């Protein structure tokens, strides 16, 4: 990860990122002026999809969550660029991508400092023909093998000590037959301990059940979860043992 100073902050960027990258690249308005916006995600916090020189990227702004978001939408306390959520996520993605984990290829992150606070954005490569798991399950059921493959994928992350702070069904994508995890904001590498791994898995199950409540026709039930856990335990059997 390399750094580039800007008028009001810094850009961190990875290998193969165009040298001319600038703060404007982290704004929707810039890409709209170039007629390069090719889509967006649905939901409360939009991720913009853009195209540049035959490369397709996902542009995501860092928004506050929880009750504090009612007062402070997107500002975070500044304690050094290396401690910002954007730079930490980019660095984690860069390491995981180099180790061939199923994550989007990182591109760059931008931090704008304003006194004691900062705001930030991140660019990652857009996975081809990707669909989040909730959208996919609204259209079709996964096979038993697919559920087991997903379980194995999550177990491999856990074995490596990868903690995903928001492991939910919408942060799992299927792209060209391969499952990926996205959105590693507040993610980190930890010792591979059963307590947080179990909590992480339980969070994912709550996510599926919540989405099922919203969409009763969603192709998810206890059998699906059991198949996912079969795959998980094939790779990481000790994590969920009582």
Q: 10 and 4 in contact (C-beta within 8 Å)?
A: yes
User: Based on the number of CB atoms within 10 Å of its own CB, is 177 exposed (0-12), middle (13-18) or buried (19 or more)?
Assistant: exposed
Question: What SS3 class is residue 199?
Answer: helix
Active site residue 183: no
The counts of H helices and E strands in the chain are 6, 13
The token pair at 145 is 């093998």
Active-site residue, selected from the candidate residues 166, 185, 222, 242: 166
Closest CA to 126 of 167, 91, 173: 173
Question: What SS3 class is residue 186?
Answer: coil
DSSP of 95-121, one letter per residue? HHHHTT-SSPPEEEEEEEEETTEEEEE
Query: Known catalytic residues?
Result: 166
């Amino acid at each position: 990860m390399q750094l580039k100073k800007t008028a009001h902050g810094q850009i961190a960027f990875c290998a193969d990122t165009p040298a001319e990258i600038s703060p404007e690249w982290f704004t929707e308005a810039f890409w709209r002026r170039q007629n390069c916006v090719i889509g967006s995600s649905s939901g409360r916090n939009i991720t913009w999809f853009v195209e540049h020189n035959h490369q397709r990227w996902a542009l995501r702004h860092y928004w506050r969550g929880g009750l504090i978001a009612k007062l402070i939408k997107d500002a975070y306390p500044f304690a050094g660029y290396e401690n910002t959520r954007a730079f930490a996520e980019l660095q984690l993605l860069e390491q995981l991508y180099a180790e061939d984990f199923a994550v989007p290829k990182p591109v760059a992150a931008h931090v704008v400092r304003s006194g004691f606070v900062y705001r930030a954005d991140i660019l990652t490569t857009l996975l081809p023909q990707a669909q989040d798991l909730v959208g996919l399950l609204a259209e079709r059921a996964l096979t038993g093998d697919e559920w087991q493959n997903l379980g194995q994928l999550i177990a491999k992350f856990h074995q490596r000590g990868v903690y995903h702070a928001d492991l939910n069904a919408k942060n799992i994508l299927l792209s060209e037959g391969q499952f990926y995890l996205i959105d590693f904001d507040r993610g980190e590498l930890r010792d591979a301990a059963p307590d947080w791994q179990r909590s992480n898995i339980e969070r994912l199950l709550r996510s599926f059940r919540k989405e099922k409540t919203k969409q009763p026709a969603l192709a998810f039930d206890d059998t699906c979860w059991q198949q996912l856990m079969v795959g998980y335990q094939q790779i990481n059997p000790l994590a969920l043992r009582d």
